[in-house]
């Protein structure tokens, strides 16, 4: 075995040990609080008086632990809830009510901590306007992709200011305001693999407005 292989294995083991150590540090018993608001749609109609049951799943290296009925509680007249749950550290949380529920909600856990899930909708619409400002004219077509919806947009000429309007729908999930994608000038540049740190990557955390008119996000392109 080469020295490089030994070093790689050693680093991998140290990383796994560190991650497991972090999870165990947070899984120190006690309780944490899960809060949020459950609405039916963009009308703002609330799930009031819902009896909620909370389950947790914790994933490790080739393992999964399930903690059923880790918490429970009621929503108020506005659909808000604040429930005390068993602390099992970083986990995947699911909420079940009499009229549906939500799964796959990542929480940090930790004794005494509060995880705010924000507003959960049965279904919602979200909109965004992306404003691309080109520092100089480009002869090639500007390609940009929505990495989540897998849509690709073409802007030509790639100069001055150009706009892209986006709309998306969500159902039974945590609201998502993120736009994630990448761009390139010409098909060949756009098709090149995108690696971490690539300047062509676009990650906009608050691009979409949920159940509201779109805001405009300015993106400066060299």
The predicted structure's pLDDT at residue 27: 66
Instruction: Look at residue 43 and give its three-state secondary structure.
Output: coil
Rounded Cα distance between 152 and 122, Å, is: 28
The predicted structure's pLDDT at residue 87: 96
Q: What is the pLDDT along the chain (222 residues), one digit of tens a residue?
A: 443 343 343 444 444 444 444 445 456 689 999 999 999 999 999 999 999 999 999 998 888 999 999 999 999 999 999 999 999 999 999 999 999 999 999 999 999 999 999 999 999 999 999 999 999 999 999 999 999 889 999 999 999 999 999 999 998 888 899 999 999 999 999 999 999 999 999 999 999 999 999 999 999 999
Query: Does residue 104 share a domain with residue 38?
Result: yes
The predicted structure's pLDDT at residue 26: 55
The predicted structure's pLDDT at residue 60: 86
Query: Does residue 41 share a domain with residue 103?
Result: yes
Rounded Cα distance between 168 and 73, Å, is: 31
The predicted structure's pLDDT at residue 174: 85
Give the CATH number, domain containing residue 90: 2.60.40
- Domain-located, residue 153: yes
Query: Does residue 144 share a domain with residue 56?
Result: no
- Domain-located, residue 100: yes
- CA dist 203 → 81, 180, 181, 206, 217 (Å): 31, 5, 7, 9, 11
Query: Does residue 102 share a domain with residue 200?
Result: no
The predicted structure's pLDDT at residue 189: 97
Query: Does residue 62 share a domain with residue 19?
Result: yes
Query: Does residue 177 share a domain with residue 144?
Result: yes
Per the structure, the complete domain to which residue 69 belongs is given by: 3-112
């Amino acid at each position: 075995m080469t020295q490089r292989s030994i070093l790689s294995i050693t680093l991998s083991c140290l990383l796994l040990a560190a991650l497991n150590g972090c999870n165990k540090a947070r899984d120190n018993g006690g309780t944490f609080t899960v809060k949020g608001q459950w609405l039916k749609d963009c009308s703002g109609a609330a799930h009031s008086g819902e009896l909620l049951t909370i389950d947790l799943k914790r994933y490790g290296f080739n393992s999964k632990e399930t903690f059923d009925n880790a918490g429970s509680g009621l929503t108020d007249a506005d659909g808000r809830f604040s429930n005390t749950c068993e602390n099992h550290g970083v986990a995947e949380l699911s909420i079940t009510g009499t009229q549906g529920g939500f799964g796959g909600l990542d929480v940090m856990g930790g004794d005494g901590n509060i995880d705010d899930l924000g507003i959960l909708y049965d279904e919602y619409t979200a909109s965004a306007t992306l404003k691309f400002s080109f520092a100089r004219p480009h002869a090639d077509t500007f390609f940009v992709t929505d990495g989540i919806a897998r849509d690709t947009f073409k802007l030509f000429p790639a100069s001055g200011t150009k706009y892209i309007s986006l709309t998306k729908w969500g159902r039974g999930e945590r609201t998502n305001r993120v736009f994630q994608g990448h761009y390139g000038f010409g098909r060949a540049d756009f098709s090149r693999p995108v690696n971490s740190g690539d300047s062509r990557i676009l990650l906009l955390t608050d691009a979409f407005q949920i159940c509201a008119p779109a805001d405009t996000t300015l993106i400066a392109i060299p």
